[in-house]
Amino acid sequence: VLALNGKIRKVGDKIFASNGKKLDFASALGSCEEAGGTLATPMNEEENKAVLSIVKQYNQYAYLGIKEGETPGQFKFINNMPLNYTKWHKYEPNGKGTEKCVEMYTDGSWNDKKCNLYRLTICEF
């Protein structure tokens, strides 16, 4: 499971943690669920900053628990809840149905990206 070594951030009643592993989206999600959580889904600026601090610590982009829905360009949390907070990078999302996953850049902004790339796994509990 997750060996944490201080890679934990607590915000409100959420805990964000990373094991430093880079996985594709499905594997990252599976590994978080196996550990009893889900992929990090920042729902406000404070949570986004907590996830960003882990992204910066590893200096690697990370997948977020957000996916494109049936409508191209419309993103939702992986539990199908609508996004009520976003932090898109300028001109993003721009994949128009070809980039169904979302990654966080090292500046905290979001980009839609293909789901088969290897990104840092950050889980939330």
What's the average model confidence in pLDDT over 54-60? 95
In a domain, 3, yes or no: no
Question: What total of structural domains would you count in the chain?
Answer: 1
User: Which pLDDT band holds residue 3 (cuts at 50, 70, 90)?
Assistant: low
Say what the pLDDT of residue 97 is: 86
Residue 87, CA distances (Å) to 9, 90, 101 in order: 19, 9, 14
Query: At 115, which helix (H) or strand (E)?
Result: none
Q: Are strands 62-68 and 101-104 parallel, antiparallel or unpaired?
A: antiparallel
In a domain, 82, yes or no: yes
In a domain, 33, yes or no: yes
- The pLDDT tens digits of the residues spanning 89-115 come to 999 999 988 999 999 999 999 999 999
Provide the CA 6 distance to its chain's centre, in angstroms: 19
In a domain, 104, yes or no: yes
What's the average model confidence in pLDDT over 83-90? 96
In a domain, 1, yes or no: no
In a domain, 107, yes or no: yes
